[in-house]
Amino acid sequence: MDIVYIRELEIRTIIGIYDWEREQKQVVSISLEMGANIKLGAENDSIEKALDYKAVAKRLIQFVEGSEFFLIETLAEKIAEIVLNEFNVPWLKLQLGKPGAVTGSKDVGVIIERRLN
């Protein structure tokens, strides 16, 4: 299986458990590896036969910007569901970070792997 990836896609959203986090958008950072067979797209030199990473990114931006979750774990699961179901990706590895959430750290977050059932 080949991998198509997106690294450090930064999106502003409402995320967090504290009152101030519910009032102002914060940046989350998404890195995503998606299982794909790139051979068909390469053979035809056609985006219609490839996993369109721009379409994935646009969909995630639209979803995340409009979302409001308390936990990054919940946001990570919802992102995984969208990618697996809407883009017919059989496997993904997602890293979702919340830069600056812990004083002294560059980033905190979760890494999940999911498969299409």
- What is the domain-level CATH number for residue 25? 3.30.1130.10
pTM of the model: 0.94
Is residue 98 part of the annotated active site? The answer reads: yes
Report H helices in the chain: 39-44, 53-66, 72-86
Residue 100 has pLDDT above 90, yes or no: no
Please report the pLDDT score of residue 117 as a whole number. 79
| Set 25, 58, 78, 98: catalytic member | 98
Q: What is the pLDDT of residues 37-80, one digit of tens each?
A: 999 899 999 999 999 999 999 999 999 999 999 999 999 999 99
Question: Which residue range is the domain that position 13 belongs to?
Answer: 2-115
- Count of domains in the chain? 1
Q: What is the pLDDT of residues 11-27, one digit of tens each?
A: 999 999 999 999 999 99
Contact between 112 and 76 (Cβ < 8 Å): yes
| Structural tokens at position 76 | 């990570």
